[in-house]
Structure 1
């Protein structure tokens, strides 16, 4: 109900004011932005959010086919797929959004940042609420996969390439596959997290094979010595 109440408040804000607000977010987060004219015409993440609002309006009126058609047009034009049923708050910033997927029952709060290749999807097992809830001020980095009816807390950060299957607390940073909390409220959680020391199965197998080769060479050398001794008799 929290997100539905916020959605109603958002819809009461003027359309042009909302569009201006969306463009202001781009200037705040992207140093490459130079003018409102450039941002208005060339930022696909911005266009995707605007198209979604139109699709979502039809979706709420139970005009599902029109809503889905608009969302597919949105996907074709921007490379960003947002289901028309998803609930999105104010000031969402999708940066370099190609490949972003946002599922039907997603709920996204205010001031959220999403980078390219992010998936806010389901696991294929749930019914009803089956996609993530992302709270205010969260950041989801490049290529992260957030799956299932889980919650990404306020001001949380999901690291690039992470796969998140469990709730993330407020003000936490999560990384890895599967995702693990490494910081919360700016303090390190796991002091022994050394990514350069993670197991490498390929290297381990190569070392095992090299060991077998060395043992075979030693056995061959020993057999050669035995053969030479017999020939000298």
Structure 2
């Protein structure tokens, strides 16, 4: 990995030993690694450097990692991986719903951690600026509710022309679901048909992307109108969907 192509990771953890371990291990994998022990140091890095991924402890001594991750997500589009030392499933799910792209339990396996970081970086893409956009009439588009999904330009916008930021994985998943309204897809089928998902994705990837899509397109993500869960089977998109 050449110097100019190095990805920059930011490790946020109040445990100096953990930070040192992660910095050493990730540097050996060719990443440029920044470190922060609290939110103040974290923001100093984020506001002065181009960070490609944030690796954050869920439980910081003086601050709530979930709140920090949510604040990051409001301003930046880079992937966030949470680290947690507690086994409470509710906390981990909350982290994913609020902001995170993946999580790992402490103590973690360094090989698995670096593999997941690599997968997140590969899926990440530059977010489109949230600006008014005019749909090209020659583009293939899908319309549902107040939304227009431009399949040609790979953009999502509302009825006022405001673009919604979607990652490559989020767009690809929404594209598959919206193109087949009312058809139930298993997680495996969604992975196979989505151009934005890697074949080696982890089991939680689809669930995390569904959570993130619901937060972006649903009026109430907890009672979605579009992306529905079929318990025990998978997900389906509730129509109608119009082809423009």
Higher relative contact order (CA 8 A, sep 6+): 2
Give the TM-score normalised by structure 2: 0.27
- The structure with more helix, counted as a fraction of residues: 1
* Structure with bigger gyration radius: 1
